[in-house]
Amino acid sequence: MRFGTKAIHAGQRPDPTTGAIMTPIYCTSTYVQEYPAVVKDGYDYSRGKNPTRTALQDNLAALEGGRHGLAFSSGLASIHALLSTLSPGDRVVCGNDLYGGTFRLFRRVFAPYGLSFDIVDTTDLAATERALSTPCRLLWLETPTNPMLRVTDLAAVAALGHRAGAIVACDNTFASPFLQQPLALGCDVVMHSVTKYLGGHSDVVLGALVLNDDALAERLAFLQLAIGAVPGPMDCFLVLRGTKTLHIRMERHCSNARAVAQHLVKHPRVARVFYPGLPEHPGHAVAKKQMRDFGGMLSFVLKGSVEDGMRFTSKTRVFSLAESLGGVESLIEHPPSMTHASIPAEQRRAAGLEDGLIRLSVGVEDIEDLIEDLDQAFKAT
Ligand SMILES: *Cc1c(COP(=O)(O)O)cnc(C)c1O
């Protein structure tokens, strides 16, 4: 099956009792047994297994081309589960431009438990090779990154990670499996904030891991049960509804973002635009090699002061000023004071995140309305 057909059908079959075409929302905490400890298909308690969640997990695994899918109550809960497979003293190498909440989980939750984290610019192969010249248990990648849209060569860096003995994991939230499939490029684990493009409608918080290794999948399923950060059946249903249109939405996100990037690049009030689809973007060639298209996210900096940029984000009418991304509606935000405020200012600046940066999640509205909205915001700022 091809991607769009899998998006609609994978993991789902008509309900055996009624033929209902949509997967039922199995709102149940427990399952009746005929005899003590005689359990049908592993269904004994919903923290361990729930049929709506099973359908979603199988659907997400199919979309990433992996054997095992595991759903969690948020993207961060899925990262927490993966990090919980490590032991105190283990070394993790991670990229230098990560989602702010990922950094916070590493530094403030897992570092005090005895994991060590070394940060490297994974878009720089020589620096990454140096960082991986000492053994490491986990290499954590994100590409394209949030919010700078930096692009890491997954095939090249995964090979370096394996030589260092690491499990290689990639946060694929910005690309979605429609645009990029890290397992096929050599990564071992794919992580998603399903909250974003996979859900696609800004109505659910959920996370997932997809992988091929049977033993690691079994360990993660144990941690999913033992830690218990699982999504409810309603949330799983909402994502199953969302993934059915993932391929169609992503095509429009990409074409709209490309048009917005091209408009901003030419705009006299704009100093810099960060979008991997622009030929001058430093990650353009790698993105072209490993992604189907360049995605719906972009960042830019206005000429003038930081305050001008912040004022601009309050003047748009179609773009809503809000955190998060990947929904059908366009969003605008100011990462230094919003999504990335949890990263110390010096570290933000060292990673190239300017104080005036504005991030857009370009939705699937009519492109003329998006361009007109940005233009009226320039006039009003
Ligand atoms: C939002 C986000 C996360 C965290 O996911 P939650 O679902 O909010 O817990 C992780 N990585 C990236 C790139 C994100 O955008």
In the chain the domains, ranked by start, together with CATH numbers, are 3-243 (3.40.640.10), 246-380 (3.90.1150.10)
Distance (angstroms) between ligand 1 centre and the Cα of 102 equals 8
Is any ligand 1 atom within 6 A of the Cβ of residue 74? yes
Q: What is the CA radius of gyration of the chain?
A: 21
Residues 6+ positions from 10 with CB-CB distance below 8 Å = 1, 58, 59, 61, 62, 63
pLDDT tens, position by position, 40-63: 999 999 999 999 999 999 999 999
Please determine, for residue 228, whether its predicted confidence score (pLDDT) is greater than 90. Answer: yes
Q: Is the pTM of this model over 0.75?
A: yes
Q: If you search the block for the tokens 């590409």, which residue do you land on? A: 143
**Nearest Cα to Cα of residue 7 among 255, 242, 211:** 242
pLDDT tens, position by position, 298-326: 999 999 999 999 999 999 999 999 999 99
Could you tell which of 173, 205, 360 is best to mutate to test the pocket of ligand 1, judged by most ligand atoms within 8 Å of the CB?
Answer: 173
**Nearest Cα to Cα of residue 183 among 266, 68, 65:** 65
What is the C-alpha separation between 204 and 249, in angstroms, rounded?
17
- Look at ligand 1, atom 8, and give the residue with the nearest C-alpha: 75
Q: What whole-number percentage of the chain has pLDDT above 70?
A: 100
Is any ligand 1 atom within 6 A of the Cβ of residue 173? yes
Tokens encoding 369 = 């309305």
Tokens encoding 345 = 């200012």
Cβ atoms 296, 329 nearer than 8 A: no
pLDDT tens, position by position, 250-305: 999 999 999 999 999 999 999 999 999 999 999 999 999 999 999 999 999 999 99
Question: Tell me, what's the pLDDT at 64?
Answer: 98
Give the chain's mean pLDDT.
96
Cβ atoms 46, 30 nearer than 8 A: yes
**CA terminus-to-terminus distance, the chain:** 49
Residues 6+ positions from 156 with CB-CB distance below 8 Å = 125
